[in-house]
Structure 1
Amino acid sequence: VPFGVIGEDDMVELVLDYNDLMRIPLVNDYIRKSNQEAIRLRAGMGGEVANQDYYNPGVLPKIPGRIYYLFGKPIQTRGREEMLKDKQNAKELYLQIRTEVESSMAYMVKKREEDPYRGIIERTVYGATSTTVHQVPTFEP
């Protein structure tokens, strides 16, 4: 089932990325030591991808926004196992799924921009001024 999610960027603010962390001497040493002692998940790969360090970026929580989910129509793969062993067929299925996800995300971005209850203040005011049986409205797909 292809699905898209919009709004996770509304949860935290990135304040320190990898380059920022590596400029802090103690943190730099810690990241390097931790990565030397860690299991290399990309050991069989070459180039820059194999040498990427694992780190936790510095983030601060934001006032929560809404997260929008949209699930698409299921794409049947049962009975197509042999057909999908062919790279071209697998690529076509991948592109179909990717197109579905991208279109659902574009749709949700549009709906998020139109959402009058996107912010926590708007949702709180609605909740305080409506009856207890009413929830804050969501968008209709």
Structure 2
Amino acid sequence: MHHVVLTPKMSGRFYFIFGEPIETKRREKELRDKEKAQHIYLHVKSEVESCIKYLKRRGEDPYRSTLSSLLYQAAHGSDAEIPTFEP
């Protein structure tokens, strides 16, 4: 019989992004036209995919884990702001 060992996972940084707003008010005619609606759909899809692609790259953030963030602050002082992730 094996004992199950549970180790709490410390969360690191949380990543989120707000894409460019896509206005649909006053575009009712365009949304009723299948061809124009498809164009709007593809634009929205492209925007969402680019946001997801950006967020997936968060693994490249050198300060993603809590430990690396704490080490940075220990080396640079507790008031030091940890650099922002920019892919």
Structure 2 counterpart of 1:102, one-letter code: E
Give the structure with the larger strand fraction: 1
The Cα offsets for residues 9-46 of structure 1, whole Å up to 9 and x where unpaired, read as xxxxxxxxxxxxxxxxxxxxxxxxxxxxxxxxxxxxxx
Equivalence for 1:99 = 46
1:80 aligns with 2:27: yes
Which residue among 111, 128, 132 is the counterpart of 2:74? 128
Give the TM-score taking structure 1 as reference length: 0.47
CA RMSD of aligned residues (A): 2.5
Task: Please say which of residues 70-79 and 96-105 is displaced more in the overlay.
Answer: 70-79
Structure 2 counterpart of 1:115, one-letter code: D
**Percent of pairs with identical residues:** 45
- Residue ranges of structure 2 left out of the alignment (5+ in a row): 1-7
Shift of 1:136: 1.4
Aligned residues: 81
- Residue ranges of structure 1 left out of the alignment (5+ in a row): 1-60
Structure 1 counterpart of 2:80, one-letter code: H
Give the TM-score taking structure 2 as reference length: 0.68
The Cα offsets for residues 81-116 of structure 1, whole Å up to 9 and x where unpaired, read as 222133443333222112111122112322x13211
